Chains A and B, each alone.
Chain A
Amino acid sequence: MLTIGKLATLLGMTVDTLRFYEREGLLAPASKSEGGYRLYDEDSVVRLRFIKQARDCGFTLGEIEQLLVLRGQSEACCGDVRRRAIEKKLQLEGKIRALAAMSKALDHLIADCSNETHPIDGCPILAALEKATTSSDVEGNK
């Protein structure tokens, strides 16, 4: 049995993170010591490794909770989990595309500002950002 501090050290997490997971219902102590300290078993270690890996793959805590529920359902099948993984990939691919578009927009702004010694009040990047904000405000007010 491990205390929360030992569990956090073992998994390279902070005690605050584990307490947060506990408040969110993702983790529960297996028992309590005579002194009232919460104690965690091997199942908690496995569960936390699962949470950590799923977080690294981009799953939200809500989605991880659903995956943990599926993991405990004998009638669930691999297809349910696979579908969720594919949906996460679709979301990530969409985000990657949006980030690439942002990066490209920055390329244009950077290219427009070829003179780095130019005074700040004539900075083409700031001017372009200002212009973009103004035009989107106008569009938003239509």
Chain B
Amino acid sequence: MKIELFYAPGCDKCAANRENLKAAASEHVPDVEWCELNVLDHMEYAVDLGVLTLPAIAIDGVLEFPSLPKVKQFADAIARKAASLERS
């Protein structure tokens, strides 16, 4: 599973909980690919995915969290996604 976090440098809101989210991702999905994308360097891709606010999180190329989720909300979502991937 590939998780992409779009952020802006110097944005406090983007930095908040980043480490906790990353830890939750590693805990629930052992082979997770965690990427942090500076939106200014990836503007085209961010617009492709429909990113409008920061930070935003995409999972496997789909914008799943248009704004910063709570760690539990994020963990539940990726656990569900990992389970459905395993089933299919």
Contact = CB atoms under 8 A, between A and B. Distances in A.
Interface string A55-80: 00000000000000000000001111
A77 B13 CA distance: 12
A78 B11 CA distance: 9
Given A86-B39, A86-B40, A90-B46, A80 B51 contact: no
Contacts of A142: none
A36 to B, nearest CB: 44
B52 A94 contact: yes
Interface of A: 77-80, 82-83, 86-87, 89-91, 93-94, 97
27 contacts: A77-B12, A78-B10, A79-B8, A79-B9, A79-B10, A80-B11, A80-B12, A82-B11, A83-B8, A83-B10, A83-B11, A83-B13, A86-B8, A86-B40, A87-B52, A87-B54, A90-B47, A90-B51, A90-B52, A90-B54, A91-B52, A93-B43, A93-B47, A94-B47, A94-B50, A94-B52, A97-B47
